[in-house]
Amino acid sequence: MPNIKSSAKRVQIGKINNARNKAVKSALKTDLKKFDAAVNGGDKAIAEGAYKVAVKAVDKAVAKGIIHKNNAAHKKSKLTVKLNGMQ
């Protein structure tokens, strides 16, 4: 435990930020899994809706600094390829 008051405050802020980042990352993973499930289900209309939600979640994660913008571009590209690969 820190002895300096400002250091103790930074520890508390770090815990709060860690919880927030973990929640955003977990929600992102959930949306990506829902998209994968929709693609595997075979219904293109449901997959397109899940695609929009997943891309929005990726963009939000970038805006909050959870993932890097290049990582986001890679994820969105993979999503698009999967969606376009549906029959």
CA 21, CA 13: separation in Å to the nearest integer?
Answer: 12
pLDDT the model gives residue 86: 85
Query: CB burial class (10 A; 0-12, 13-18, 19+) of residue 61?
Result: buried
- Confirm if 35 and 51 have CB atoms less than 8 A apart: yes
What is the pLDDT at residue 1?
Answer: 82
Question: What digits encode the pLDDT tens for the residues 15-35?
Answer: 999 999 999 999 999 999 999
Question: What's the whole-model pTM score?
Answer: 0.85
Give the chain's mean pLDDT. Answer: 95
Spell out the domains of the chain, with CATH numbers in brackets: 5-84 (1.20.58.110)
Spatial CB neighbours of 37, under 8 Å, sequence gap ≥ 6: 50
Model pLDDT for residues 39-52, shown as the tens digit of each residue: 999 889 999 999 99
